Structure 1
């Protein structure tokens, strides 16, 4: 999400001056927060992350239409470094490099067959890429997508074990104020259930974990910085149930977390890896944050 420049600068400045509040309410255990720094022109604005099953490879997406593959180095539980691989530009269906509003790429899924799906916020849509750097295959768009808020559409994108995609708008809401969740079954999008919006937090990332549960990362921005929350649900044909809040951070505990990947580590424990969008502001930081989750 591209925040208003004045709001983002003010929040980042205050965040840099105040001590982080080490408050995590919930069942998850904070393992590590790694600050990733580079001076490359492509670096920053990361809005999505997918971590490989080994926990040592990742694919990240920038909200300026770039996808990067990288290797993660670890020292026990902690991330000790990140080695970038190739940088690929996100393209249109005509194989043109996307930019501006059309290139506001936010959500990412790496499918089992190696293809990628990307959700966009500026112009609400989801596209499939058979290979990195290849042309887009834009999925059909229902009329509901035409009425999404310009800066409040699809930051979150996830795929279940059956290969069905799920997305939800960041700020556009149903008439009753709930968050509509759309599912792509390979042919059409349907609204399959709604999630309650609680406490002003907005959904910015989603993933189905290896346990089959739907995880949603939410963010709340304020003048004193950012707060993050991670919730999960059991999803069936009847809808979403058994909601749990796994953590809710205090202001400034983390930067602007926008990407989420849930996987199992070598000990078989569930882990959530998240990445922050620095909005390309020098007062913010790119953070890779990890929590251990309960089964």
Structure 2
């Protein structure tokens, strides 16, 4: 074989083998500063009970990286020591969490990289608006509410994702209103994808929901009360789900709440409701919470973590708070 042809073949082989390395090279290390939050409100210090939960503490996160913020989906590792988040401008954020006893104490080793779809990096808030994240094993799912699209990703051993592939959705699910689609996704015990809409309503005013990827996909609804809109969903380690909801009345009224939902109630045509475990307003330390995750700590207690979307506004904050859910 001529030398130039051998060299050409070698370059071609390198190019074909290089996408994983190229994908890893796209991750950018960023500095994120964390300020501890030791009180949920005047009467609730870390370790204090609030509603049905126990406030464990939290962090306010800031960064000089202009792309940091807009965190709209969150998942922690099974031990709660690492996090993966997505922003509505189309970025993955990954990093480590430090603890002081049971309380969050800081973040470290944070990286940022673009979320890639079938045609390359997603266009961000105006063109896609990535709002919800689920991770299970070596798979991840991201829902974009402006285009009513769900992508599925394969994760490598480090939790890094290649390009996403579209998930086939029921025709009715694709009719969700612009910017009011699926902000809450999680997987069922059987591994199917559960999707709850922000403000895609049934005729009776309840939130529409779908289970897709199952042998028999189906639609149901989640009871909507007091005009709270779902913003995220997470599977609880002990079974069932925690649903994060928000009610915003301009210009200064913001309320968030969490409800428990039972998977056994989720059947075709059913209306699912569940008990409220926590409601908080601006009297408490809250912001625009749009991401929720759940894991068990070293003692076996279920910990719920929420993160807020600051909308890249100087008037809002990126907060990460944790609560224990007593069994």
Do Structure 1 and Structure 2 share a fold, with TM-score over 0.5? yes
Q: Which residue of 2 aligns with 1:94?
A: 119
Q: In the TM superposition, what are the counterparts of 1:32-71 in structure 2 within 5 Å?
A: 32-71=57-96
Within the candidate set 260, 267, 282, 1:251 is matched to: 282
Q: In the TM superposition, what are the counterparts of 1:64-213 in structure 2 within 5 Å?
A: 64-112=89-137, 114-131=138-155, 132-186=160-214, 189-191=217-219, 193-213=220-240
Cα deviation, residue 271, structure 1: 1.1
Cα distance, 1:52–1:251 mapped onto 2, change above 3 Å? same
SS of the residue aligned with 1:172?
Answer: strand
Deviations 1:21-59 (A, max 9, x none): 869873112221311111112200000110111111010
Does the 8 Å contact 1:25/1:249 carry over to 2? no
The higher-RCO structure (CA 8 Å, 6+ apart) is 1
Structure 1 portions without partners, runs of 5+:
1-18
Does the 8 Å contact 1:128/1:139 carry over to 2? yes
CA–CA distance in structure 2, aligned partners of residues 96 and 34 of structure 1: 30
Cα distance, 1:27–1:213 mapped onto 2, change above 3 Å? same
Q: In the TM superposition, what are the counterparts of 1:234-245 in structure 2 within 5 Å?
A: 234-236=262-264, 238=267, 243-245=274-276
CA–CA distance in structure 1, aligned partners of residues 171 and 188 of structure 2: 24
Deviations 1:97-149 (A, max 9, x none): 4334333101111111x221101111112110113342221011322233212
SS of the residue aligned with 2:119?
Answer: coil
**TM-score, normalising length: structure 2:** 0.78
| RMSD (Å), alpha carbons | 2.2
Q: Which residue of 2 aligns with 1:215?
A: 242
SS of the residue aligned with 1:146?
Answer: helix
CA–CA distance in structure 1, aligned partners of residues 143 and 233 of structure 2: 11
Cα distance, 1:120–1:97 mapped onto 2, change above 3 Å? closer
SS of the residue aligned with 2:127?
Answer: helix
CA–CA distance in structure 1, aligned partners of residues 291 and 142 of structure 2: 13
Pair 1:282-2:307 in alignment: no
Does the 8 Å contact 1:160/1:212 carry over to 2? no
Cα deviation, residue 153, structure 1: 0.4
Does the 8 Å contact 1:22/1:250 carry over to 2? no
SS of the residue aligned with 1:50?
Answer: strand
CA–CA distance in structure 1, aligned partners of residues 306 and 201 of structure 2: 25
CA–CA distance in structure 2, aligned partners of residues 257 and 227 of structure 1: 10
SS of the residue aligned with 2:169?
Answer: coil
State which structure, 1 or 2, has the greater radius of gyration over its C-alpha atoms: 2
Residues paired across the two proteins, number:
275
CA–CA distance in structure 2, aligned partners of residues 43 and 109 of structure 1: 20
Cα distance, 1:292–1:242 mapped onto 2, change above 3 Å? same
Does the 8 Å contact 2:153/2:164 carry over to 1? yes
**TM-score, normalising length: structure 1:** 0.86
CA–CA distance in structure 2, aligned partners of residues 21 and 204 of structure 1: 26
Cα distance, 1:169–1:21 mapped onto 2, change above 3 Å? farther
CA–CA distance in structure 2, aligned partners of residues 25 and 242 of structure 1: 21
